[in-house]
Structure 1
Amino acid sequence: MRPLARSLIRPYVCPSCRSGRLPVRRQFASDAQVTPEIYDVVCVGGGPAGLGLLAALRASPATSKLKVALIETQDLQKARAWNLDSQHFSNRVSSLTPSSVSFLQKIGAWDHVDQDRAQQYQEMQVWDGETGSRISFDWSMETSPFEDLRTVATMTENSNLVRALLSRISASGDENISIFSNTTVSSIENGADLPDGPDLSAWPILSLSPTGTAPSQGPSRIAARLLVGADGINSPVRRFADISTDGWDYNRNGVVATLSLAEQDPVPFPLGTKTAYQRFLPSLGGPVALLPLPNNHATLVWSTTAENAAYLKSLSPKSFIAMVNAAFRLGMPDLKYMMAMERPTSSDVDDQHESELSWRLQHTPPSSPQPPLVTGVQEGSVAAFPLRFRHASTYVSPRVALVGDAAHVIHPLAGQGLNLGMGDVASLARTLDYAVTHGMDVGDILTLERYAAERYTTNAKIGGACDMLHKLYNVPGQGPIAWGRSLGLEVIERLPFVKGLLMRQAEG
C-alpha cells in the first residue's frame, strides 16, 4: 500500500474544501503547492466501466450532486459520433447478461442503446470437439409454454454501449461534472498540507496533460476525494495505489471477426429464436464461439494458440470462412490437418481450403445442432488479442477503488469479462450512494471496504471457474480427463435443476 502522510491522523477536510469552494487568495508557492481543483470522484478510463460509473452516480438523487470527473486518453467526441450502417458491425462485441441489462436500464442508459444493433439470444449450444458430449443452456424448463422464452444474454457492440452511456451522461446536465477527453494522466502522487489551505496529504493528486497535439481542456492538476481506476489491465491507478496482481498469460490469442451467415435451416421455433454456439477444440488450444448479431450476422471469438491465430489472420477471406465452418463441423484430425495446410500464394489456388472442407464434409457424419454456414467475413474485422488471467490482491486502498479490467481480467470463454465490470460499477455506485446518504466520506477505506467485500469473492469465483474450464478443455485426446469432462457435461444436461443453478450464477 502506498505511504500516506498523516492520512490516519488528520483525515478531516473542511466543508468548503470538500465542495471545492476554496477562498480566493494570492499564491506565491511553487507549482507543487498550488491548490489543485478538487473533485469528489475522479474516474480514470472512459470505457464501459468508467462511463457506467459516472452514469450511475448521475442517475442517483443521493450522488447526483457529487463533483465528478472522467479522464480518457482517446477522443470521446469520436465515440459520440460513432455510426455504422446496418450491414456492418464492430468486432468488439460483448454478451450482456440480464443483470447487466437491468443495471443499464436502472441508470437510464439502456434507452440510449441502439436496439437495432443489439441482439438477444435465447439458447446456447456447447459441445466438446473431442468427445462429442453436449449441453444446451436455455430457460425452457422454467418458462411456461404460453410465455416467450427468456433471454440468456444480449449481444451488443462496445461502441454502441459507450455511445449510449455518453448520451445518458450528457442528458444528466453539465453541472458538477467534467469530462477530460484527449487527456493523459502524466503522474499521480499524494497531495500536501498546504499553508493556509486544505490538508490534501492523503488525497491522490493527478497531473493532466493533453494527448498528442490536442488542446488543453481544463486544469493541469486535480485532487480526488476518491480516485477510481477503470483504466485497464496496465492500470496506472493500481500502480499508484501499490496494489499487486496475481495471474499468468495463457499463451493463447482470441481471434475475432464479424461474419455473415446463411439462412438458418430449419427455421427455428418459435420464430425469431436465436442461438449461440460454442465448441471446445482441445487439440487447437481452446474453444470457438459464434454469437448472433442482427441481420443474419454473427461475431466470432476463437481462442487458440498464437501460431494458429497468426495463421488464421494471414488467410484470404475465402480460406478464413472455410476454416470457421470447419471448426464447427469437422473432427479434430481433419481440423488439425487444415490448420497445417500451406497458405495459398495466388488467387488461382485461393479455394484450396474450401475444396478441402467440401471433400472432408462428404466423409464426416453430420451432427446436430450446427450453426448456420458462414458465407462472408467483414473486411478489416479479423483481429487477435492475447488472453490473460489477472486478479488484484485488493480492490481498494485509501481513497482509491479499482473496477473492471484494472481489478480483474479473465478468460473470455464464458463471456463474463464486461459483465463483471458492470457488476463492479453497480456495487461501487451503491456503496457511494450509501455513504452519501449516511454522511460518510466517499473515499474513506471503511466506506470502500463495503464494495470490496461484495465483489472480490464473486469475481474470484467466476474467474477461477473460467480458468479451470480453460485448463480442463485444453487436454487433448480420449484419456481419463476427456472422459471425466464428458461425463460431467452429460450429468449436468440430465439434471435441469443443476443446469438452472449454473445459469442463475452466470446471469448475475
Structure 2
Amino acid sequence: MACKILKHCKLCNLTSRIVNSLASRNIHSNSNEKADIVISGGGMVGTAMACALGHADFLQDKKVILLESAPEKKTFKLSERFSNRTCAISPSTVSLFQSIGAWDEILQMRCQPVKRMQVWESCSDSLITFNDEELMNDLAYIVENDVILEAIRRRLSTLSEKVEVRYQTSAKSYIVPGSTPGHEGVDQNTWVTIETDKGNIIQTKLLIGADGMNSAVRKAGKFHVFQQDYQQQAVVATLEVSGTSDNSVAWQRFLPTGPVAMLPLSNQYSCLIWTTSPTKAKYLKDLEDDSFVDAVNDAFWHERDLDSTVTSISHKYQQLLNYVFTDNQVVRQLPPTVVGVDPGSRASFPLSLVHSSNYVKPRVALIGDAAHRLHPLAGQGVNLGFGDVSCLSRLLAEAVQSGSDVGSLYYLTKYETERQRAVLPVVMTIHGLHYLYNTDFSPVVLLRSLGLQSTNALQFVKNKIIQQASA
C-alpha cells in the first residue's frame, strides 16, 4: 500500500529501471546480427572494397555487409554530356578494376587514355613532359566518377550471395573496443558494435571506414588527424576544345595562385580543374560563358607572369643541358583552344589536406579519404584509395588463409605499414609542391625552374616519377 502512495519509492524505481533495462537488452539481442566485415560508405573506394572482398577466394564463406546511405539506382543511363567530376586512373588502378571485372564495364561506357602530359609554369619557360612511350602503355585514363561507380556496382550486383549491400542505410553510432567512452578498457578481441539508422545492431570482427574525409568511423575510433586548410578552391567544368584531332594530352600549368589543368574526356571535350582563391573561384563561376572561356584560354596562354631574369637564366641553362644530354630535345606543345563550356557544368569545392596518423586500430581500418585526402594537383588521391583496397583485401585474405580472423591486428598493422610507406611520400611531395609553386618570388621561381628543367633532362628520374605515379 505504501508503494502506491509514495510516488518516488526508491525500491520501485530501481525495480522499474532493471526491468526496462532487461527488456531493452532483449529487444537489442533479438535484433543483433553478426558479420565478419562491415564497410561503412559506398562511394567509389568503399564499393570497390566490397567488390574486391567478394572476389577473394579465402573470404568466400565470410559475411560482408556494405552500408550505403544513398538509394539504389535500378537503372543507369549514361548522359550524352560529360560529368565535371572525373578521376585520372593510374595503371595500378586499372589492374585492380580488371581483377574485379569492372574495367570491361568502363570500356563499354567511356574513358579517354592519356598518352602524353605537359607541365609548365607561367613565371618561366621551364617545362616537363611525360610520354606513353616511356611506359610502353598509356600514362592514365580519364574516367568520370559516375562511370567508375556504376561499373563497380554492376560487378558487385553479381556477388549478392557473398556481399550484402544495404542501400539507404548508414551507421548511427559505433562502439569501438578501446576507443568509445566507457569501453576504453575492453579487450581488443571484443567485436565492434554498430547501430544503424534503421535501429539494427550489427556486431562485426572488422569495421572498414570508407566514409570520406569527414569520416564518422575515424572519429569514433579516436584517430589522430593532421589537417591543413589550403584556403583554396578547385573550379571544375566541362570544356569544348578545338584544334586537335587526337585529344590525349593532359595539360597542367602552374600559376602563382595555383595550378590549372585540362584533362581529355574525348576528342572534343576536356575537364577543367582550376585551383585558385575562394574569391577568384566565385568570380569564375559567376562569369558569362563566353567570358569564362576567355578566362580559361588566358590562364593557359598568357605571358604576363614571366620573370625576364629567370627566363634568361633558364634559357642558358637549357642550352647547357642540350649540350650535355644530346638526346634531350624539349618539345613544347601548345594546348588546344577552348571554344565552349557545358551549361551548368561549373562548380567548385574547397581544398585541404587530411591525413590520419594511423590507418588502423583494433578491429578498425580506414581506407580512401577517411585515411588520407590530398590536394588534387597530381591527381593521385583516388588512386591511393584504390591502392588501399588492393592492399587490404590481399592482407585480409592472407589472414584467413593463415588461420587468423579478419580483424587480426597483426595483419591490420601490416596494411598500415605498407600503405603509409606508399602514401606519405606522395602526401609530402604534393604538400611541398603546393607551397613551392604558390609564389612568384624570383629566387624561388629560379630554383624551381632549374629543377624542372633538370628533371626533364634526366630520363631515369622521370622514369622513377612515372613508376611512383603508376604504383
* TM-score for both structures, normalised by structure 2: 0.85
Corresponding position of 2:55? 59
Q: Secondary structure at the match of 1:166?
A: helix
8 Å CA contact 1:39–1:223 kept in 2: the answer is yes
Structure whose residues are more often helix by fraction: 2
Q: Secondary structure at the match of 2:294?
A: helix
8 Å CA contact 1:391–1:460 kept in 2: the answer is no
State the Cα deviation string for residues 228-267 of structure 1 (Å, max 9, x = none).
Answer: 0000111000111110101210000011001111141xx5
RMSD across aligned C-alpha pairs, in angstroms? Answer: 2.2
Q: Distance in 2 between matches of 1:469 and 1:333?
A: 19
8 Å CA contact 2:248–2:267 kept in 1: the answer is no
Q: Distance in 2 between matches of 1:56 and 1:66?
A: 13
Corresponding position of 2:4? none
Q: Which amino acid aligns with 2:215?
A: S
Corresponding position of 2:196? 208
Corresponding position of 2:444? 481
8 Å CA contact 1:441–1:447 kept in 2: the answer is no
8 Å CA contact 2:188–2:362 kept in 1: the answer is no
Displacement after TM superposition at 1:289 (Å): 0.2
Corresponding position of 2:16? none
8 Å CA contact 2:31–2:200 kept in 1: the answer is no
Corresponding position of 1:311? 283
1:46 equivalent to 2:38? Answer no
Q: Among residues 139, 148, 151, which one is paired with 1:161 in the alignment?
A: 148
Matching of residues 267-416 of structure 1 within 5 Å: 267=245, 272=246, 274-282=248-256, 285-332=257-304, 368-416=332-380
Corresponding position of 2:228? 248
State the Cα deviation string for residues 198-242 of structure 1 (Å, max 9, x = none).
Answer: x998222111125xxxxxxxx711111100000011100011111
Corresponding position of 2:413? 449
Q: Distance in 1 between matches of 2:439 and 2:449?
A: 12
The 1:103–1:275 alpha-carbon spacing in structure 2 relative to 1, beyond 3 Å, is same
Corresponding position of 1:177? 163
Displacement after TM superposition at 1:189 (Å): 1.6
The 1:306–1:29 alpha-carbon spacing in structure 2 relative to 1, beyond 3 Å, is closer
The 1:200–1:280 alpha-carbon spacing in structure 2 relative to 1, beyond 3 Å, is closer
Q: Which amino acid aligns with 2:39?
A: C
Displacement after TM superposition at 1:190 (Å): 4.4
Q: Among residues 82, 85, 93, which one is paired with 2:79 in the alignment?
A: 85
Q: Distance in 2 between matches of 1:116 and 1:124?
A: 24
1:187 equivalent to 2:173? Answer yes
Corresponding position of 2:115? 122
Q: Which amino acid aligns with 1:182?
A: Q
Q: Distance in 2 between matches of 1:191 and 1:31?
A: 22
State the Cα deviation string for residues 433-454 of structure 1 (Å, max 9, x = none).
Answer: 1011111111121121111111
Displacement after TM superposition at 1:76 (Å): 3.0
1:134 equivalent to 2:127? Answer yes
Corresponding position of 1:344? none
State the Cα deviation string for residues 270-292 of structure 1 (Å, max 9, x = none).
Answer: xx47111000001xx21000000
Corresponding position of 1:460? 424
Q: Distance in 2 between matches of 1:28 and 1:220?
A: 13
Q: Distance in 1 between matches of 2:384 and 2:455?
A: 24
Q: Secondary structure at the match of 2:290?
A: helix
Q: Secondary structure at the match of 1:328?
A: helix
Q: Among residues 83, 101, 113, which one is paired with 2:94 in the alignment?
A: 101
Displacement after TM superposition at 1:28 (Å): 7.7
Q: Which amino acid aligns with 2:405?
A: D
The 1:176–1:499 alpha-carbon spacing in structure 2 relative to 1, beyond 3 Å, is closer
Q: Distance in 1 between matches of 2:117 and 2:106?
A: 24
Displacement after TM superposition at 1:81 (Å): 2.8
Q: Which amino acid aligns with 1:225?
A: K
State the Cα deviation string for residues 156-189 of structure 1 (Å, max 9, x = none).
Answer: 01110101111001112x2243211112211112
The 1:420–1:506 alpha-carbon spacing in structure 2 relative to 1, beyond 3 Å, is same
Q: Distance in 2 between matches of 1:387 and 1:290?
A: 18
Q: Secondary structure at the match of 1:449?
A: helix
Q: Distance in 2 between matches of 1:277 and 1:154?
A: 14
**Residue ranges of structure 2 left out of the alignment (5+ in a row):** 1-21, 179-186, 307-330
State the Cα deviation string for residues 348-387 of structure 1 (Å, max 9, x = none).
Answer: xxxxxxxxxxxxxxxxxxx942211111111111000011
Corresponding position of 1:422? 386
State the Cα deviation string for residues 445-488 of structure 1 (Å, max 9, x = none).
Answer: 112111111101211110110010111000114x1111010001
Q: Distance in 2 between matches of 1:368 and 1:321?
A: 23
8 Å CA contact 1:431–1:451 kept in 2: the answer is yes
Q: Distance in 1 between matches of 2:287 and 2:247?
A: 32
Q: Among residues 196, 215, 219, which one is paired with 1:239 in the alignment?
A: 219
8 Å CA contact 2:54–2:163 kept in 1: the answer is no
Q: Distance in 2 between matches of 1:446 and 1:200?
A: 12
Aligned length: 418
8 Å CA contact 2:247–2:268 kept in 1: the answer is no
8 Å CA contact 1:116–1:294 kept in 2: the answer is no
Q: Which amino acid aligns with 1:412?
A: P
Identity among equivalent positions (%) equals 39
The 1:442–1:256 alpha-carbon spacing in structure 2 relative to 1, beyond 3 Å, is same
Q: Among residues 216, 219, 223, which one is paired with 2:203 in the alignment?
A: 223
Corresponding position of 1:364? none
Q: Among residues 456, 460, 466, which one is paired with 1:493 in the alignment?
A: 456
8 Å CA contact 1:95–1:156 kept in 2: the answer is yes
Q: Distance in 1 between matches of 2:295 and 2:78?
A: 27
The 1:91–1:332 alpha-carbon spacing in structure 2 relative to 1, beyond 3 Å, is same
Displacement after TM superposition at 1:27 (Å): 8.0
The 1:176–1:105 alpha-carbon spacing in structure 2 relative to 1, beyond 3 Å, is closer
**Residue ranges of structure 1 left out of the alignment (5+ in a row):** 1-25, 144-149, 193-198, 211-218, 335-366
Corresponding position of 2:66? 70
